Structure 1
Amino acid sequence: MNKPLKTPPPYPIASVDHALRAATILQLEGGATVAQLAERLGVARSTAHRILAMLVYRDFAVQGEDRVYRAGPVLELAAHSQSLVSRLRAAALPHLHRVVGLLDETANLIVRTGDTVRFIASVECLQALRVGSREGMVFPAHRTTAGLLLLAELTDGELEEVYGPGRQRDRPADGPDLAQLRTELGRMRRNGFAVNKERSERGLVAVGVPVRGRDGTALAGLSVSMPSVRYDPQRLRSLVATLEAAAHAVEKELADQP
């Protein structure tokens, strides 16, 4: 028997439908101007503009200097297998809690998509002065600990694909100096860990290590974040050792899954 066609809901909400259709157009077709989207949706330009403004606000879209709207970080995350993201999160959460119990600092799990990263899990510590949960938030990859670790896995050619000339059209002011970034990534590649001192947020220090798949590819970054006033460089090796133990435990759980 053929599967029945989708039945529209009895009380459709036009504004929601327009927003979902707009997001789909940006994701599948690469981009659109306000006028193009208004024509596609059959709405006024002012309505299309309001829809796009909300998509930008929620990171579903970005607007380039050419005034074209394109898929934002949330939609780019679809490049990751959702099953992989959910499996990563499920495998990591118990170990994030264990890290927080040992270090009494906030722990995070992060994945990269292009030049951005998304925090897919975050467990806060109980200290009064602490780094809050970043779960669901999106940051430029080169400004976060885990993002740098994941970028360090790329070849020069792959890094050029992410940050080369013309690649940062949507966020030109935030693009890194590529030569300097290569030097930093080389150091992190040798060390096997990364330290972020107020690079993403003032007053915050983070230390991170990669979480690898069966083939050795870095799938995510596992990090611990703390107020900079509490960071002691003398504890760095201990922090890294605790994170590496947690990362290896997550890797083992992933490897044991069918």
Structure 2
Amino acid sequence: MNIVKKPGYAVDSVDRALQLIMLLQERDWLRITDAAKALDVAPSTAHRLMAMLVYRGFALQDDQRRYCAGPTLRTDPAADPARSAATIARPHLEALALSVRETVNLVERVGVTARYLFTAEGPQLLRVGNRTGTVLPAHLSSAGKAILATLPEPSVAQLYTGRQAQKTGGSLAAAELEGLQRELAEARTRGYAVNLGRTEADLAAVGAPLATTDRPAALAVSISSPLSRSGDIQQPQVIQALHATCEAVLGDLQAEGVPPSP
């Protein structure tokens, strides 16, 4: 039996990232303080490492600021509905990206966050890049707002003012919540939500939910573009293609028995 020795050229940051991945695989949930202690580094260092793992899909963060293994580490799609949904949605998202020539995303809402499960990049040279693994505030992203718009107003208010929101720092002030409720009302009327520079200064996006008639949505599809093309992605033919993709993905999820709702 060969003994594997630590290489003399070992890169400490890579080693720590790999140790962090192992911790995510061993534990159901991991907090930054626990990760920092296990790696013997400062919490700020552990946070930077974890942020990169989230960005690349190796980790996911919930609304209690805990981390778990992300879709990249979950090799069995059947054991992970979100990964299974991404696998089923992929051909539809890739087709939409080619059709509208912009980047397309499948997004899941967990608590007050919007998590990007899969990205199909558009073919244009100037485009929005891969967002797989990215976690954004749900009330700012187009996909997050599209999903929130399928909830009744009292449920949205509870989500952003209840005890859990206060505890995790996800609460909104009264004026912010009022503005969000107005945006969600507009999204319900239009059938899609809009993000114009809210999450990134030069980014625009439109999102529509994978909604059934009897339950709120948990997933949405969004189209992202540079802000300079924000008018293009709101054209009727683009929105029609977005809705058609949502219907196609929803149909395939239901046919495969994958729940599109919480």
Aligned residue number for residue 153 of structure 1: 150
Q: Offset of 1:132 from its aligned partner?
A: 0.7
The residue that corresponds to 2:237 in the other structure is 238
What amino acid maps onto 1:236 in structure 2?
A: Q
Q: Deviations over 1:50-82 (max 9, x none)?
A: 7854446645698xxxxxx9414x57999xx95
Question: Cα 1:18–1:251, aligned 2, differ >3 Å: closer, same or farther?
Answer: closer
Aligned to 2:23: 20
Unpaired segments ≥5 residues, structure 2 = 7-14, 258-262
- Shift, 1:233, TM fit: 5.9
Match of 2:10 in 1: none
- Structure 1 residues 235 and 214: alpha-carbon distance in aligned structure 2, compared to 1, 3 A threshold: closer
* Counterpart residue type for residue 179 of structure 1: E
Going from structure 1 to structure 2, the CA distance change for 1:75 and 1:22 (only over 3 Å counts) comes to closer
Compared CA separation, residues 49 and 234, structure 1 to 2 (3 A): closer
Mapped contact 2:194–2:205 kept (Cα < 8 A):
yes
2-side partners of 1:22 and 1:106: how far apart? Answer: 30
How many residue pairs align between the two structures? 232
* Distance (Å, rounded) in 2 between the aligned partners of 1:111 and 1:105: 20
For the residue of structure 1 that corresponds to 2:132, the secondary structure is coil
User: Aligned with 2:109: secondary structure?
Assistant: strand
Q: Offset of 1:205 from its aligned partner?
A: 1.2
Structure 2 residue aligned with 1:186: 185
Amino acid at match of 2:66: A
Quick check: 1:247 aligned with 2:246? yes
Shift of 1:210: 0.9
Identity of aligned residues (%): 27
Q: Distance in 2 between matches of 1:232 and 1:18?
A: 41
Which aligned pairs between 1:37-186 and structure 2 lie closer than 5 A?
47=41, 49=43, 52-53=46-47, 54-55=49-50, 58=53, 70-72=65-67, 83-164=80-161, 167-171=165-169, 177-186=176-185
Take 2:219 and 2:60, find their aligned partners in 1: how far apart are those partners? 23
Question: Match for 1:240: what amino acid?
Answer: I
Q: Secondary structure at the match of 2:235?
A: helix
String of CA shifts for 1:172-212, please: whole Å, max 9, x gaps.
Answer: 69878111111211221222111211111112111111113
Structure 2 Cα separation of the partners of residues 61 and 133 of structure 1:
16
Query: Which 10-residue stretch deviates more, 98-107 or 164-173?
Result: 164-173
Q: CA deviation at 1:18?
A: 11
Following TM superposition, by how much is the alpha carbon of 1:247 offset from its aligned partner in structure 2, in angstroms?
0.9
Residue equivalent to 1:4: none
Tell me, in whole angstroms, the C-alpha distance in 1 between the residues paired with 2:241 and 2:189.
19
- Map 1:210-225 onto structure 2 (within 5 A): 210-213=209-212, 215-225=214-224
Q: Which amino acid aligns with 1:206?
A: A
Say if 1:225 and 1:115 are closer, same or farther in 2 by CA, change over 3 A: same
Q: TM-score, normalised by structure 2?
A: 0.70
The aligned residue for residue 203 of structure 1 is: 202
C-alpha contact 2:142 2:222 (8 A) present in aligned 1: yes
Give the Cα–Cα distance (whole angstroms) in 1 for the partners of residues 233 and 132 of structure 2: 29
Q: TM-score, normalised by structure 1?
A: 0.71
User: What's the Cα RMSD here?
Assistant: 4.0
Change in Cα spacing, 1:112 to 1:23, as seen in structure 2 (3 Å) is: farther
Segment of structure 1 superposing worse, 165-174 or 202-211 = 165-174
Q: CA contact under 8 A between 1:207 and 1:239: conserved in structure 2? A: no
Q: Contact conserved, 2:32 with 2:66, CA < 8 A, in 1?
A: no
Alignment gaps of 5+ in structure 1: 1-9, 63-68
Alpha-carbon distance change, 220 to 61 in structure 1, aligned in 2, over 3 angstroms: closer
> 1:128–1:116: structure 2 CA closer, same or farther, 3 Å change rule?
same
